């Protein structure tokens, strides 16, 4: 089971200009065959289905703890998409039809506050019940599905798969990086490239420990040095490319029996963090988007009800959540 901490694994910038087609591209990193839903679910189900756990404990602990990190990755990608979609639907039907706040665009007419949505690549972000939020889809709007999960039970096959999956995932992140320089997308890909690199190393090292095969000769794969990417630098400077977290209060300690030795590119020593997870950062509290009724056409009414409930329950008057 899990405990959830209401923080992101790294900081994201607040919304600026909306970038719906950029957000559609970032969906590839969420629901694509090589997106974070795939890494999360592959390692999670491999850990669920792991037989003879005690006998193979260091490998179980490796897969199980990386799985836990990946939850944080789907959370980050979703937050990025939400950020990039913010601003297109910030006016709703009543405002558009009856009101007078016609701000942004000459193409926006009375009563069609979503007109700009008509031509975007993923209209379901707005049309199908999508509240200007992340969908469980890839960049073409195709839903992620369970066929993307590989869990053969054979440890060598599974690790080979995972190494290949991380390679495809790295490739996808590089391509999205090349596609949009929206600040949120760049903060996301900079972080994920570093962390995905750690997972590539981890699975290659696990195969090496089991068989002697030296997959690290393939690094980096694809062959773009992470250190050349500016948005990766702060994370490299903090040593995040060398560190595996257990993402657990007290379990998965045997991961250090596999994840050790020199980093294949830099020669620095790999390390398992003492602390269970990185510090994290609070998420931005993204503003309502009345054009898609999120969190409702009248967010103020919901806020007033919430306030009453809070008081009735003996909670402080001010919301207690952590936001940026």
Among 12, 18, 36, 60, binds a copy of itself (CB under 8 A): 60
Closest CA to 222 of 158, 175, 157: 175
Could you give the CA distance from residue 143 to residue 33 in angstroms, rounded to a whole number?
10
Nearest distance from C-beta of residue 238 to a copy of itself, angstroms: 17
From 12, 84, 135, 232, residue interacting with a copy of itself (rule: CB under 8 A): 135
Rounded to a whole number of angstroms, the minimum distance from the CB of residue 190 to a copy of itself is 11
Q: Which of 18, 36, 68, 244 binds a copy of itself (CB under 8 A)?
A: 68
User: How big is the CA angle at 131 (ends 126 and 134), to the nearest 5 degrees?
Assistant: 90
If we measure between CA atoms, which residue out of 17, 25, 61, 22 comes closest to residue 43? 61
Per rule CB under 8 A, is residue 323 in the interface with a copy of itself?
A: yes
Distance CA 283, CA 188 (A): 13
Dihedral angle computed from the Cα positions of residues 253, 254, 260 and 265, in that order, rounded to the nearest 10 degrees: -80
Q: d(Cα 29, Cα 47) in Å, to the nearest integer?
A: 22
Q: By CB under 8 A, which span of 66-74, 99-107, 232-240 interacts with a copy of itself? A: 66-74
Q: Could you count the other beta carbons within 10 Å of the beta carbon of residue 304?
A: 11
Nearer to a copy of itself, 39 or 216 (CB): 216
54 lies in the binding site for a copy of itself (CB under 8 A)? yes
Among 308, 16, 41, CA closest to 184? 16
Burial of 289 (0-12, 13-18, 19+ CB in 10 A): buried
The contact mask relative to a copy of itself for 113-132 (x = CB under 8 A, - = no) is xxx-xxx-xxxx-xxxxxxx
Determine which residue in the list 11, 13, 58, 234 makes contact with a copy of itself, applying CB under 8 A: 58
Q: Does 38 bind a copy of itself (CB under 8 A)?
A: no
- When asked if residue 146 is in the footprint of a copy of itself (CB under 8 A), the reply is yes
Binders in 179-218 for a copy of itself, by CB under 8 A: 179-181, 207, 209-218
Find the Cα–Cα–Cα–Cα dihedral 178, 179, 183, 186, rounded to 10°.
-40
Cβ-count burial 20-36 (b if 16+ within 10 Å, e if not): bbbbbbbbbbbbbbbbb
Q: Which residues within the stretch 273-302 sit at the binding site for a copy of itself (CB under 8 A)?
A: 276-278, 280, 283, 285-289, 291-300, 302
Identity of the residue, 160 or 241, whose beta carbon is nearer to a copy of itself in the bound complex = 160
Site string for a copy of itself, 211-250 (x = CB under 8 A): xxxxxxxx--xxxx---xxx----------------xxxx
The reply on whether position 65 binds a copy of itself by CB under 8 A is yes
Minimum distance from residue 270 beta carbon to a copy of itself (Å): 12
Lookup result for tokens 């909306």: 18
**Residue 168 or 234: which CB sits closer to a copy of itself?**
168
Task: Say if residue 220 is preceded by a cis peptide, omega within 30 of 0.
Answer: yes
Number of residues this chain uses to bind a copy of itself (CB under 8 A): 178
| Piece in contact with a copy of itself (CB under 8 A), picked from 26-34, 99-107, 234-242 | 26-34
């Amino acid at each position: 089971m899990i405990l959830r901490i209401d923080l992101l694994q790294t900081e994201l910038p607040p919304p600026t200009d909306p970038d719906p087609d950029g957000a559609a591209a970032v969906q590839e990193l969420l629901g694509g065959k090589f997106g974070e839903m795939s890494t999360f679910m592959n390692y999670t189900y491999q850990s669920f289905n792991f037989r003879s756990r005690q006998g193979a404990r260091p490998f179980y602990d490796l897969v199980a703890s990386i799985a836990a990190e990946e939850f944080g990755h789907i959370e980050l990608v979703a937050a990025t998409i939400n950020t990039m979609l913010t601003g297109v639907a910030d006016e709703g039907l009543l405002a558009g039809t009856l009101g007078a706040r016609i701000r942004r665009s000459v193409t926006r007419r009375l009563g069609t506050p979503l007109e700009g949505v008509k031509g975007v690549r993923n209209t379901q972000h707005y049309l199908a019940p999508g509240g200007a939020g992340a969908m469980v889809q890839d960049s073409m709007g195709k839903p992620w599905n369970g066929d993307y999960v590989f869990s053969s039970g054979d440890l060598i096959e599974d690790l080979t798969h995972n190494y290949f999956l991380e390679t495809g995932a790295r490739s996808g992140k590089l391509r999205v990086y090349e596609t949009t320089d929206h600040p949120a997308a760049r903060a996301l890909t900079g972080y994920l490239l570093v962390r995905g690199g750690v997972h590539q190393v981890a699975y290659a090292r696990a195969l090496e420990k089991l068989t002697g095969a030296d997959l690290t000769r393939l690094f980096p794969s694809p062959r773009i040095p992470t250190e050349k990417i500016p948005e990766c630098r702060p994370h490299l400077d903090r040593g995040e490319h060398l560190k595996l977290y257990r993402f657990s209060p007290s379990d998965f300690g045997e991961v250090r029996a596999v994840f050790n030795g020199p980093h294949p590119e830099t020669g620095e020593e790999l390390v398992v963090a003492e602390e269970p997870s990185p510090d994290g950062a609070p998420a931005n509290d993204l503003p309502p988007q009345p054009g898609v009724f999120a969190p409702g056409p009248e967010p103020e009414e919901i806020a007033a009800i919430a306030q009453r409930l809070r008081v009735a329950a003996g909670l402080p008057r001010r919301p207690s959540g952590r936001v940026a």
